[in-house]
């Protein structure tokens, strides 16, 4: 009993962190692409059950009272019921497809749905936006890139190294220009 409680408690922080950090394009779309798009993707000749999961309209639609992904209620989402099922007649991907989802991958999809199932278009169609430059203090002459780097270092509790000495700079220059270490001279 004690081991079960410790296991449950150990999983809680992970589950909470995953739920907050799940991004559709980075975490969910690749899983759906690998496990689902062969049967439920853009190829109309291979598409099963008329279900298309690579488009927002297909992923969030309701057919015969069954909602594929219900952003308001994870328990009502047929996608979750199917990927979590162990019944061979219900589970997705089907056992004979040769595709599987690991428990961790299933949890990522579950956390995405529970977090509201936010959809993003393909990254190539999202216009780039300029992020706000952090207000981190950087010694010496610094530009915006240095401020982003310093912000990351601060967050991780690290400090930048000082300037490199002449020997190190010469070694780096030699590797950059020739791909070889410098000679002793």
* Contacts of range 116-120, beta carbons closer than 8 Å, 24 or more positions apart: 116/71, 117/60, 117/69, 117/70, 117/71, 117/77, 118/24, 118/71, 119/24, 119/56, 119/59, 119/60, 120/23, 120/24, 120/25
Q: Residue ranges of the domains in the chain?
A: 2-124, 134-185
State if pTM tops 0.85: no
pLDDT at 34: 95
Question: Cβ–Cβ contacts within 10 Å for residue 17, how many?
Answer: 11
For the chain, 185 residues long, give each residue's pLDDT as a single digit of tens: 444 443 433 444 444 444 458 999 999 999 999 999 999 999 999 999 889 999 999 999 998 888 999 988 888 899 999 999 999 999 999 999 999 999 999 999 999 999 999 999 988 999 999 999 988 887 766 788 988 999 999 999 998 888 899 999 999 999 999 999 998 87
Spell out the alpha helix ranges (H) of the chain.
Answer: 2-21, 29-35, 37-40, 56-59, 78-84, 103-114, 144-155, 166-178
């Amino acid at each position: 009993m004690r081991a079960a409680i410790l296991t449950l408690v150990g999983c809680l922080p992970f589950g909470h962190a995953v739920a907050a950090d799940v991004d559709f394009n980075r975490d969910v779309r690749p899983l759906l692409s690998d496990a689902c798009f062969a049967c439920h993707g853009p190829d109309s000749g291979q598409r099963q059950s008329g279900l298309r999961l690579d488009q927002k309209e297909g992923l969030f639609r309701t057919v015969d009272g069954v909602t594929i992904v219900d952003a308001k209620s994870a328990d009502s989402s047929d996608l979750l019921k199917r990927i979590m099922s162990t019944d061979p007649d219900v589970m997705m991907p089907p056992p004979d497809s040769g595709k599987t989802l690991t428990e961790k991958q299933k949890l990522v999809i579950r956390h995405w749905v529970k977090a509201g199932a936010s959809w993003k278009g393909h990254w190539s169609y999202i216009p780039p936006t300029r992020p706000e430059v952090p207000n981190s203090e950087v010694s010496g002459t610094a530009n915006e890139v240095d401020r982003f780097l310093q912000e990351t270092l601060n967050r991780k509790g690290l400090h930048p190294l000082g300037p490199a000495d002449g020997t190190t700079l010469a070694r780096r220059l030699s590797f950059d220009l020739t791909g070889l270490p410098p000679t002793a001279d």
